[in-house]
Structure 1
Amino acid sequence: MIELTGSTLTLKDMRDICFHGERIQIAPESLENVKKSRAVVEKIVADGKTVYGINTGFGKFSDVRIHEKDVNTLQLHLIRSHACGVGEPFPKLVSKAMVVLRLNALLKGVSGVRPCLVERLRDMVNMDIIPVIPSQGSLGASGDLAPLSHLALVLVGEGEVYDGDDTKSTGEVYVEKGLEPLELKAKEGLALINGTQAMTAMGVLNYLKAERLIEQCDWIASMTLEGLEGIIDAFHPAIHEARGYPEQIQVAERIRAITNGSTLITRQGEKRVQDAYSLRCIPQVHGASRQSLAYIKEKLEIEMNAATDNPLILDDGATVVSGGNFHGQPIALAMDFMKIAVAELANISERRIERLVNPQLNDLPGFLSPDPGLQSGAMILQYTAASLVSENKTLAHPASVDSIPSSANQEDHVSMGTIGARHAYQIILNAEKVLAIELICALQALEYRGINKASKAIQELYQEAREEVASIKEDRVFARDIEALTGWLERASFEWELVRNDLFPNKG
């Protein structure tokens, strides 16, 4: 059971909740803070004070005063009118993360919602009532208005939720679960949709996938290094310490550890003086991507625990002030950074694939074919990798440099962070396929060289991967191999288990 406080949620917690079904509970002190902030809203309504979003219109309509008798209706109108997302729905895991993050933000006690609302969000997570949320339509400022409105619809018994691989109407599920729809009160609709939880939820899934991917890159690159009889001298610790980046030093250390004991690895001058950059510069490139992920992790964990709606109830209710915490620029920049970092992992992987299959660049059979000429072998695998890498280059164009004014120019600068997060997700999916292709080719190259000559760690990786895809004895439909290995990479653990106890007993 993971306790949500509004300020202590971590990416590990999100992994446990979203991927492993860990249940959540609300910290009692956080619920007390929710009650206190709600009392402030109710006093504002009773006293007839004019406060944005409580008894005014929204956006350009912020100067329109709403009569006390209509403040609840205002919130329902807000949700319905803003629920205009389009396109394919977010993955269910992202929608679940969105509910968790919105709940966690409300638990900071500065949003003015009722306890029953945060308790319903908790129950949605624990009872697996996950909204179907269209993925397109957010500008990433004024919050993720359209996506979060589709989330909020479920609270009032409208919209759709996931039912296994299918969907059901929320009303039908509420009847099955014995739940009643909520009636939104003053400010609650705005508190639900003014936030960055769509882009942040997508960013969380992106990070958790990219974190796994970057571990796999080092392992697969190590197998390629052995398959091409690469030069280990380029990974000498002093080289990387001379530059000083911890992540670069770490990657070089990992490559040395994974390939330790291999008789395929060569020394400088034995077969060639220097390797191509795609081999020699693995620590520099992989290390730089690791640096970017560290930055992204920091920004995500701040945003996961941030109050991003408007207005905020501060100083124990003494101050109710409008601001701009809903602006998604910090996450927009982080997602654009992620796009570039992961695209580069795929980029250098594709260059290693080329070195594995091109007979002009190695002494292996052309395109790793079992019968060059009659059989094409891995020729078109490289084409596919090149296509994915090229697509990534287009997707990596930063979304955050664009802005289109909205709400009659009241909201005249927006982040487009949710677009960046969605594109980052697609880049990660593409990169997984490129890594799968490199692994197929590296497996075949290693087989030609002699499995028994590889390091112990690479031999174990070879055996595990061969359970997913067979050796290339004859041309076949390689799309199935790519799909099989991509699926395996999404499940497999490539962390230090195979080598750390033997070679680095004091390191994790």
Structure 2
Amino acid sequence: MVNLKLERETCKMISVDRKLTLSQFYEIIFNKQELEIEPDVLDTVEESHLFLRDFAQNKIIYGVNTGFGPMAQYRIRDEDRHQLQYNLIRSHAAGTGDLLPPIQVKAAMLTRLCNISKGKSGVHTSVINLLKELINREITPVIFAHGGVGASGDLVQLAHLALVLIGEGEVLFHGARRPTADVFAEQGLKPIEVVVREGLSLINGTSVMTGIGLVNYFYAKKLLAWSVWLSCAMNEIVKAHDDHYSITLNAVKLHRGQNEIAGRMRMHLEDSPLIKKREDDLYSGNNQEEIFKDKVQEYYSLRCVPQILGPVLETIEQVGRVLEDELNSVSDNPIISVEDKNVYHGGNFHGDYISLEMDKLKLAITRLTMLSERQLNYLMNTKINEILPPFVNMGKLGFNFGMQGAQFTATSTTAENQTLSTSMYVHSIPNNNDNQDIVSMGTNAAVLANKVLLNSFEVLAIQMISIAQAVDILSYQNFVSSKTKAVYDEVRRIVPAFSDDRPLYPVIQKVKEFLMR
């Protein structure tokens, strides 16, 4: 099995005194580790709330006694302040398109909880407590993919989250889409208390793009690990030489990612009898023929894996660092400082950091998918590999078709990834009466990156099945490395070797799920 080597930590508390680590985030989101709130977090949030409530008297503070966006020049009367927050939430719950998957919404909720737990937003403690309950009980607000422009944060998507927190809107619970009020009644949950600026604090931030981005990050790590596995298995199938992933060759390039990928390949292939030593094969002096029967050098998709996946690895790591920082940041506006006895207005809600990283991530993963597609083509094309029947067909040639149909899907999906990799970061469209005159499009960038990642699992699943077929055709089951054999056995339990034609879509989906788990 591919191991992400995530450090398992006990994720029982969120503290404003330390970061929530990526490993802790993974445990809560993917492994359903329960979340608790330390008492000092609630104390900090309460102190911030009480300070803002008192400080706001006789002062002009955005979103407390003013309108929003370009209407901030309008004063809000004291008696209307409470209703103002409800108006903001309800008016901005205007998303459309597909629903965000529950795992993305849960990630967004955890990110929002981390942000406002720092005590810089002035919210009532009921917000912290209710978010914790929704996360632990797997109650996820209905949030739509379309709506966010990524400055003033994820306004529309977060408004749908806030709508649920005030007891309205809809949620997904036990696989069903239901009215929030009904689920709250069953679960004994109460809506939040809106007192000063809870509406604005909830919708003003980068939590949705960051939450989706974090889910993307973990998927990307899995894809990279599988890409290394597939590349190693490919090298075994063709009995490649070992020098292209050697220490000596890769050490003269100073890129850490390249050297780490080469190291992973050496570890994977260390016990493979199929890999050849160049000094035994081509340096022996016995090769006197005019046309060499063995390839002097392998194709790029086999020989240049460290150079191709090295920058992918480094990109994923950089994405993780930025996301972890954003997860533990405060993306609200304005910022409440109890320490300074002041309120600061600015633009911490701007999603440029996330938007740029999501664009970089989808470029890197699209490149990874292109590598997979080219390796798959090498398996399919008997004129190139010279050792396998066309389309790794285990049946009667001409009568049966092997993986021919599945290759179309892999090629088509790779092409879609290439198109989806167009940048959102440089695609700002001014809106909000030109108040938001340059925006990040970070939410769109995260959603599109997620599509690229899910597509990539499909391409790699098709390659995985094809590799299993190739291993059987060549009778290499007992000759591949131990790491190749362990995964091969698992894949064969999902999809046994086949020679007769049959619909492949069910097994492609099952192998995709295996790769994503």
Structure 1 length as normaliser, TM-score? 0.94
- How far apart are the structure 2 equivalents of 1:239 and 1:206? 32
Tell me the residue number matched to 1:11. 22
Q: Secondary structure at the match of 1:243?
A: coil
Following the alignment from structure 2 to structure 1, what is the Cα–Cα distance between the partners of residues 162 and 247? 53
Distance 1:372 1:230 in 2: 27
Q: Which amino acid aligns with 1:417?
A: G
Report the Cα offset of residue 22 of structure 1: 1.2
Match of 2:346 among 323, 340, 354: 323
Counterparts of 1:202 and 1:459 in 2: how far apart (Å)? 34
Measured against aligned partners, the alpha-carbon deviations of 1:454-507 in whole angstroms (never above 9, x if no partner) come to 22222222212111111132222122221121111122xxxxxxxxxxxxxxxx
Taking the TM superposition and a 5 Å limit, the aligned residue runs for 1:366-385 are: 366-370=390-394, 371-385=396-410
Give the Cα separation in 1 of the matches to 2:442 and 2:231. Answer: 32
**Alignment check: 8 A CA contact 2:34 2:136 kept:** yes
Map of 1:480 onto structure 2: 506
8 Å Cα contact 1:369-1:376 kept in structure 2 = yes
Partner of 1:432: 457
* Percent of residue pairs bearing the same amino acid type: 37
Does structure 1 retain, via aligned residues, the 8 Å contact 2:153–2:204? yes
- Closer/same/farther in 2, CA of residues 358 and 254 from structure 1, 3 Å limit: same
Q: Of 201, 209, 214, which aligns to 2:211? A: 201
Deviation at 1:317, TM superposition (A): 4.9
**Equivalence map 1:484-499=2 (5 Å):** 484-491=510-517
Question: Which residue in 1 is equivalent to 2:307?
Answer: 284
Amino acid at match of 1:394: T
Partner of 2:8: none
Inter-CA distance 430–384: structure 2 relative to 1 (3 Å threshold): same
Determine the C-alpha separation between the residues in 1 that align with 2:191 and 2:400: 63
CA separation in 2, counterparts of 1:456 and 1:486? 22
Root mean square deviation of aligned Cα? 1.4
The question of 1:113 aligning with 2:138 is answered no
Structure 2 residue identity aligned to 1:303: E
Please tell me whether the aligned partners of residues 88 and 134 of structure 1 are also in contact (alpha carbons under 8 angstroms): yes
Of 263, 266, 282 in structure 1, the residue corresponding to residue 276 of structure 2 is 266
Q: What per-residue deviation string (whole Å, max 9, x for no partner) do you get for residues 243-295 of structure 1?
A: 02222112112212222232322344651111111000111111111000110
Mapped contact 1:223–1:443 kept (Cα < 8 A):
no
**What is the deviation of 1:181?**
2.3
Q: How far is 1:66 from its partner?
A: 0.4
Following the alignment from structure 2 to structure 1, what is the Cα–Cα distance between the partners of residues 480 and 183?
55
Aligned residue in 1 for 2:490: 464
Match in the other structure for 2:361:
338
Q: Deviations over 1:293-320 (max 9, x none)?
A: 1100000000001100100012525221
Map 1:135-214 onto structure 2 (within 5 A): 135-214=145-224
> CA 1:179 to 1:462, structure 2 compared with 1: closer, same or farther past 3 Å?
closer
Q: What residue in structure 2 maps to residue 132 of structure 1?
A: 142
> 1:25 — aligned with what?
36
Q: What's the CA shift for 1:201?
A: 0.6
Partner of 1:233: 243
Q: Which residue of 2 aligns with 1:100?
A: 110
Higher mean C-alpha displacement, 181-190 vs 401-410: 181-190
Distance 1:30 1:183, change over 3 A: closer
Given candidates 39, 42, 49, the residue that maps to 2:59 is 49
In structure 2, runs of 5+ residues without a counterpart are 1-10, 283-293
Find the counterpart in structure 1 of residue 291 from structure 2. none
Residue matched to 2:229: 219
- Structure 1 segments, 4+ long, off by >4 Å, are none
In the aligned structure 1, how far is the partner of 2:435 from the partner of 2:419?
Answer: 31
Q: Secondary structure at the match of 1:453?
A: coil
Structure 2-normalised TM-score? 0.92
Q: Retained in 2: the 8 A contact 1:2–1:13?
A: no
